[in-house]
Amino acid sequence: MTEFIDTFYLFNLEHEVGSENLKTFQTLADKYSHLLSEAEKEVEEKEAEAFYGIRPSDYEFLTE
């Protein structure tokens, strides 16, 4: 997501997508950011669940 923001920060989005499409673009970008954030949290939860009871020093044996 950071790469996306860094890339499009350099552009004038209103000029690129048109002023009539800017609000729609921003709404879709916000929705995407929210879904991405939820997915990242879910991954963290699933990893914690998968590694529950495993010592961090033993993680390398499980992820290979």
Q: How do the domains of the chain map onto residue ranges?
A: 2-63
pLDDT value of position 4: 65
CA distance 29 to 23: 10
Q: How far is CA 52 from CA 4, 26, 58, in A?
A: 34, 39, 12
Question: Each residue of 12-42: pLDDT tens digit?
Answer: 877 878 888 989 988 998 999 899 999 999 9
* Helix, strand counts (H, E) of the chain: 4, 0
- Predicted confidence at residue 35, as pLDDT, reads 94
